[in-house]
């Protein structure tokens, strides 16, 4: 682990460590607190703070949260937890856990044990993907060493010298915690964004129980992301490449989810984006020649209920409109209108529009599916995180109970 590097901050309890993040940038971490950093909610730092990662910090501490925690980044890379004295902070003599979800996956559980009757300064060197240590000093002498699980990172990372400060102002008896993020740009301009904490984790759990979908669960996050705000996210909160539909310049017709490549020679070939055909097997159209009076369209379909309607004979003089329908399960009719008066120019516009419309829809749906899966992953991760946190809490409570029992027995003796 890196050496600890004490440094006095505004409250006199600052100390910090340094490591390189995943991008090779130096990240200095700093956790200092006479009590423990007690963040009862997910703290999300949006893009407007120019942070490379979402910052999610949560503590599984008791609902009695004291005001005065500070999470500070210097050049966007230093994290400071500071809890001011007073308020309804963590009780001394307890063990607390901070769960830190990782941007690349995984969750770090930081467990901090606070000795009784001592002033606690928690010093930390948090190293990614390494076993790290938080030291909590009690008073002048006592040092409590707490191990962080592998892979822990408190992600508060800025870019280009930008820094962010999450500051909690003391408020009314610790009931509400007016945390703020102060983003400092290169020119020294400060942007203060309030951190909205919901009151209790229990409330959030209840919300979770009522929420049937990831959308709703993550609604808070989404809204705050859009606003660029830093806000509390329910405890159960919470990217990629696209494949563009290729176009070879040939007009395509969309029929029942398939693509018909329209060739100038009045021949229609069936094709799909991935070369496979579902349901529609063949579609051939032959013109008897430029002067011919008829066109024969053969359309064979297989599977589903692929009904279709095609004119079998058409007059060259007429505006020939072929409408091929494959009533899908949704009832959406994907019609194709094409003219065959010597060419397919007029129909190509319509065809292209339909094709583009479909491609756009597929693209959007693709994106939506990705986003949905991402949220689902996050959701599952958060549930797992909650389990870990609650297990830690449970362990701590058991320990506390044990010690109280011992104390009681001693007094009884």
Partner DNA sequence: GTCCGTCTTCGTCACTATCG
Partner DNA sequence: CGATAGTGACGAAGACGGAC
User: Which parts of this chain interact with DNA (CB under 7 A)?
Assistant: 213-216, 222, 240-243, 257, 273-274, 276, 304, 328-330, 362-366, 368-373, 375-376
Name the residue nearer to DNA (CB basis): 228 or 245.
Answer: 245
Residue 171: CB atoms within 10 A of its CB come to 14
Name the residue nearer to DNA (CB basis): 146 or 235.
Answer: 235
Name the residue nearer to DNA (CB basis): 88 or 366.
Answer: 366
Query: Least distance from C-beta 381 to DNA, angstroms?
Result: 12
Which residue from 58, 96, 66, 72 is spatially nearest to 84, judged by alpha carbons?
66
Query: Least distance from C-beta 353 to DNA, angstroms?
Result: 13
CA–CA gap between residue 220 and residue 359 (Å, rounded): 31
Name the residue nearer to DNA (CB basis): 148 or 237.
Answer: 237
Per-residue tokens: 277: 């055909």
Query: Least distance from C-beta 212 to DNA, angstroms?
Result: 8
| Helix/strand/coil for 164 | strand
CA–CA gap between residue 78 and residue 16 (Å, rounded): 8
Name the residue nearer to DNA (CB basis): 93 or 279.
Answer: 279
Query: Least distance from C-beta 150 to DNA, angstroms?
Result: 19
CA–CA gap between residue 123 and residue 5 (Å, rounded): 9
Is the dihedral angle over the CA atoms 13, 18, 22, 25 positive or is it negative? Answer: positive
Whether 382 contacts 375, CB under 8 Å: no
Query: Least distance from C-beta 293 to DNA, angstroms?
Result: 36
Name the residue nearer to DNA (CB basis): 54 or 157.
Answer: 54
Name the residue nearer to DNA (CB basis): 156 or 351.
Answer: 351
Query: Least distance from C-beta 115 to DNA, angstroms?
Result: 41
Name the residue nearer to DNA (CB basis): 79 or 221.
Answer: 221
Query: Least distance from C-beta 248 to DNA, angstroms?
Result: 16
Query: Exposed e or buried b for every residue in 9-37, given b needs 16+ CB within 10 A?
Result: eebebbbbbbbebbeeeebbbbbbbbbbb
Name the residue nearer to DNA (CB basis): 14 or 359.
Answer: 359
Which residue from 390, 381, 387, 391 is spatially nearest to 103, judged by alpha carbons?
381
Whether 107 contacts 150, CB under 8 Å: no
Per-residue tokens: 167: 């500051």
Query: Least distance from C-beta 241 to DNA, angstroms?
Result: 7
Query: Least distance from C-beta 362 to DNA, angstroms?
Result: 4
CA–CA gap between residue 381 and residue 17 (Å, rounded): 28
Tell which phi-psi region holds residue 317, choosing left (phi > 0), alpha (psi between -120 and 50) or beta: alpha
CA–CA gap between residue 381 and residue 404 (Å, rounded): 34
Query: Least distance from C-beta 134 to DNA, angstroms?
Result: 31
Residue ranges of E strands in 242-401? 251-255, 258-262, 268-271, 280-287, 295-301
Per DSSP, the residues of 100-141 read EE-TTS-EEEEEEE--TTS-EEEEEE--TTS-EEEEEEETTT
Name the residue nearer to DNA (CB basis): 369 or 401.
Answer: 369
| DSSP 8-state secondary structure symbol assigned to residue 45 | -
Which residue from 194, 189, 185 is spatially nearest to 166, judged by alpha carbons?
194
């Amino acid at each position: 682990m890196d050496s600890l590097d004490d440094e006095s901050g505004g409250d006199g309890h600052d100390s910090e460590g340094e490591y390189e993040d995943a991008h090779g940038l130096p990240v200095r971490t700093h956790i200092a607190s006479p009590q423990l950093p007690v963040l009862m909610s997910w703290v999300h730092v949006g893009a407007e703070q120019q942070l490379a990662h979402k910052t999610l910090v949560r503590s599984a501490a008791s609902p009695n949260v004291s005001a005065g925690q500070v999470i500070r980044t210097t050049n966007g890379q230093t994290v400071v937890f500071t809890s001011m004295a007073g308020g309804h902070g963590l009780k001394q003599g307890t063990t607390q856990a901070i769960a830190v979800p990782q941007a690349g996956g995984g969750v770090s559980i930081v467990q901090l044990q606070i000795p009784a009757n001592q002033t606690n300064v928690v010093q930390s060197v948090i190293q990614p993907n390494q076993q790290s240590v938080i030291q909590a000093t009690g008073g002048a002498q006592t040092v409590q060493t707490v191990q962080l699980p592998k892979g822990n990172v408190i992600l508060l990372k800025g870019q280009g010298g930008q820094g962010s400060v999450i500051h909690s102002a003391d408020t009314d008896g610790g009931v509400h915690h007016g945390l703020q993020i102060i983003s400092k740009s290169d020119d020294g301009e400060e942007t203060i964004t309030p951190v909205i904490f919901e009151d209790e984790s229990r409330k959030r759990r209840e919300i979770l129980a009522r929420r049937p979908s990831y959308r709703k669960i993550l609604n808070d996050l989404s809204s705050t992301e859009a606003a660029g705000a830093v806000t509390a996210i329910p405890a159960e909160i919470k990217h990629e490449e696209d494949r563009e539909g290729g176009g070879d310049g040939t007009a395509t017709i969309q029929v029942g989810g398939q693509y018909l490549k329209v060739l100038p020679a009045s021949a229609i070939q069936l094709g799909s984006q991935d070369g496979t055909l579902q349901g529609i097997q063949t579609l051939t159209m032959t013109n008897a020649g430029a002067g011919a009076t008829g066109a024969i369209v053969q359309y064979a379909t297989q599977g589903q209920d692929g009904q279709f309607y095609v004119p079998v004979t058409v007059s060259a003089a007429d505006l020939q409109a072929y409408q091929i329908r494959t009533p899908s399960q949704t009832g959406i009719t994907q019609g194709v209108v094409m003219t065959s008066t010597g060419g397919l120019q007029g129909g190509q516009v319509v065809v292209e529009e339909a094709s583009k419309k479909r491609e756009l829809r597929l693209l959007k749906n693709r994106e939506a599916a990705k986003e949905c899966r991402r949220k689902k992953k996050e959701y599952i991760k958060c549930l797992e995180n909650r389990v870990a946190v609650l297990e830690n809490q449970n362990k701590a409570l058991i320990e506390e109970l044990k010690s109280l029992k011992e104390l009681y027995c001693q007094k009884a003796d």
